[in-house]
Structure 1
Amino acid sequence: MRPKTQHTLNLKLLIIGVFLAFSLLFVLRSSLSTSDPNLSSPTSQTILPRASSLINDSKPTNCSSTCTKIPLSLARALMHYTTSTITPQQTHKEISVTAKVLEKKSPCNFLVFGLGHDSLMWSALNYGGRTIFLEEDESWIEQMKLKFPMLESYHVTYDSKVNQAENLMGVGKGPECTALGDTRYSMCQLALKGLPNEVYETKWDLIMVDAPTGYHEEAPGRMSAIYTAGMMARNREEGETHVFVHDVNREVEDKFSMAFLCDGYMKKQEGRLRHFRIPSYRDGLDMPFCP
């Protein structure tokens, strides 16, 4: 048997040796971890670099500064047509003809003869531009203003009647009606002279003739509206004006659009809608009334 003191001494030495060994191992492992990136934890090696690359490659989106809400006027138009059971008078194909031109031209100046169930749509399609509606019925204007106060509309009085169309066609061929000039000062019986000044003074990019009423003999008819639209286009300082006439299945709209907007300027007919593109006559006063 070994003496007791020797046994106690050997046990103490063993404990100290084991402690020193663990201490040395810990120091070595810590040293390797800080010097060799391959021994890093999966979290620091994979997740953090990916987050870093996302920050560098694509800046985070701050919606308050880079995103905008849909404009209120467009939101109202969407809500109205989504919930409305009233169908606009023009078909989808007819509307598409004007919509394609607006897609290229808007925001622009758009004059519309008539204030109807499709007016909110035309205003929305010309978002950022100016769209003016000319309406014969004052009470209807008031109703529409209450419902859609953002629409700009004016009352127009027409002196003609559908049963006068044949006589007015003959009048329109006279020199006082084919001469270029501001329609508010025109001597032509067909010219509309009582419109708001801004209508005469604005350079219209598009004009839609879908009014006044023209389906019975005592109605005002669209003779003056078609003639005036054509003369406004010709009197424009430069460029072209797109003119659209609806309901060309009727005699007045058919004959007057061909006579005063001209067959040679017609670009397309879709259903009851005709599209004309009329150039400015300012730099070509010797141009024939129709090509």
Structure 2
Amino acid sequence: MKTSEKFIVLHPSIHKPSGGGGGSAVPPSHRTWILVFMLFFTVTFAFTLITTREAARTSAGATTTTRSVLPRPIFDALVHYASTNTTSFSGRMSSAELKYIAAVLRRCAEPCNLLVFGITHETLLWNSLNHDGRTVFIDESSYLVSKLEEKQPGIEAYDVQFTTKVSELYDLIEHYKEQMKNECRPVQNLLFSDCKLAINDLPNHIYDVAWDVILIDGPRGYFPAAPGRMAAIFTAGVLARSKRGGATHTHVFVHEIYREVEKLCSDEFLCRENLLETKDFLGHFVVGKMDANSFEFCPNSDSSSSPKSN
């Protein structure tokens, strides 16, 4: 039975040019389609490449934007609630002291490098206020450090075994004066220091950080056998003068500045001419970098300038 359907079969020979001679030539219509296809492919490839690069730039920009300071309303709220829950007999910082340090942290370059001696009631506040910066805590108690890391895994903290005692204050100052041009000089790598006041057993990378702010609120210093803050103040003075990179000055805060150890060591290693202001029991020093060949912590120790006190 025959069907009425017809099939048209195109034989390759019908596409040959009528002029004969060399059957491999491509007719003009096919060359046009090939050119259109190649142009389409080229445009598509270029568009994809440009789009990918723009997406990468946008992504990089977004990453940079996320590294920002804590939003001001949240920053202010944290300071407000922390400062309204202080008491004069709790050993905590006063409202004025908290607000003063917070104001300096707010002005700090981004990201801010903050080193804190002492795990205290304000520890979580400092870590939060320095949002997106680097905050490191140093404490004498391995127990407190481990508990802090257990409850707050994102916090960086280390314990130090202090070998000093408050009762040894004047012996340590005498040792420093004998070694001020050698082991106890103001510009040095503390990792290799044999000065009795140097803290040299922290992780190596801590000494490479250009610290913007150093807060000394530990270790304990209220009885003769306590380690005292002599080593912390000395170490802060050396870190500020020896730092590489970052700002040329370091803000150093000493809490309970009017106690004998804190006052004497601050005068020796942070210098009265660097004392910007006092707020209640808090001293605020601004210590600049020094030349590697410097051998005096306080070249202008005879300065009669008096700090502004509030």
Does the alignment pair 1:168 with 2:177? no
Q: What is the distance in 1 between the residues matched to 2:166 and 2:296? A: 28
Q: How does 1:128-139 map to 2 (within 5 A)?
A: 128-139=132-143
Shift of 1:130: 0.4
Structure 1 range deviating more: 227-236 or 171-180: 171-180
Which string of whole-angstrom CA distances, capped at 9 and with x for unpartnered residues, describes residues 26-56 of structure 1? xxxxxxxxxxxxxxxxxxxxxxxxxxxxxxx
TM-score (norm 1): 0.68
Instruction: Please say if residues 246 and 273 of structure 1, whose CA atoms lie closer than 8 Å, have aligned partners that are also in contact.
Output: yes
Q: What is the distance in 1 between the residues matched to 2:94 and 2:111? A: 23
Structure 2 counterpart of 1:98? 101
Give the alignment's Cα RMSD to 1 decimal. 2.9
Instruction: Please say if residues 111 and 133 of structure 2, whose CA atoms lie closer than 8 Å, have aligned partners that are also in contact.
Output: yes
Structure 2 spans left out of the alignment, 5+ residues: 1-61, 301-310
Does the alignment pair 1:181 with 2:188? yes
Q: What is the distance in 1 between the residues matched to 2:228 and 2:107? A: 31
Q: What is the distance in 2 between the residues matched to 1:91 and 1:85? A: 9
Structure 2 counterpart of 1:242? 251
Does the alignment pair 1:272 with 2:310? no
Shift of 1:179: 4.8
- Number of paired residues? 220
Counterpart amino acid of residue 158 in structure 1: F
Q: What is the distance in 2 between the residues matched to 1:86 and 1:266? A: 25
Counterpart amino acid of residue 226 in structure 1: I
Counterpart amino acid of residue 259 in structure 2: R
Does the alignment pair 1:126 with 2:133? no
Shift of 1:126: 0.6
Q: How does 1:46-195 map to 2 (within 5 A)?
A: 89-105=92-108, 106-174=110-178, 175=180, 176=182, 177-195=184-202
Structure 1 spans left out of the alignment, 5+ residues: 1-64
Which structure has the greater CA radius of gyration?
Answer: 1
Counterpart amino acid of residue 94 in structure 1: E
Could you say what secondary structure the match of 1:230 adopts?
Answer: helix
Counterpart amino acid of residue 297 in structure 2: F
> More helix by proportion, 1 or 2?
1
Q: What is the distance in 2 between the residues matched to 1:228 and 1:272? A: 21
Instruction: Please say if residues 236 and 282 of structure 1, whose CA atoms lie closer than 8 Å, have aligned partners that are also in contact.
Output: no
Shift of 1:205: 0.5
